[in-house]
Chain A
Amino acid sequence: EAGVAQSPRYKIIEKRQSVAFWCNPISGHATLYWYQQILGQGPKLLIQFQNNGVVDDSQLPKDRFSAERLKGVDSTLKIQPAKLEDSAVYLCASSLAGTGGANEQFFGPGTRLTVL
Chain B
Amino acid sequence: QQQVKQSPQSLIVQKGGISIINCAYENTAFDYFPWYQQFPGKGPALLIAIRPDVSEKKEGRFTISFNKSAKQFSLHIMDSQPGDSATYFCAASVRTGANNLFFGTGTRLTVIP
Contacts and interface: CB of A to CB of B under 8 A. Distances in A.
Nearest to B32: A102
B24 to A, nearest CB: 14
Given A43-B44, A102-B51, 9 more contacts: A4-B43, A41-B106, A56-B98, A56-B100, A99-B98, A100-B97, A101-B95, A106-B45, A109-B43
Contacts of A99: 96-99
What secondary structure prevails in chain B residues at the interface with A? loop
Contacts of A40: 105-106
Nearest to B96: A100
Q: How large is the interface on A (under 10, 10 to 19, 20 to 34, 35 or more residues)?
A: 20 to 34
A25 interface: no
21 contacts: A4-B43, A40-B106, A41-B105, A41-B106, A42-B103, A42-B105, A43-B103, A55-B98, A56-B98, A93-B43, A95-B99, A98-B99, A99-B96, A99-B98, A100-B99, A101-B95, A102-B95, A104-B34, A107-B44, A107-B45, A109-B42
A15 to B, nearest CB: 25
Interface residues of B, number: 27
Nearest to B9: A40
Interface in B17-37: 32, 34, 36
B49 interface: yes
B92 to A, nearest CB: 11
A109 B98 contact: no
A106 B98 CA distance: 16
A42 B91 CA distance: 9
B67 to A, nearest CB: 19
Contact of A101 (B34, B41, B99, B105): B99
Contacts of B98: 48, 55-56, 98-99
Interface in B72-113: 89, 91, 93, 95-101, 103-106
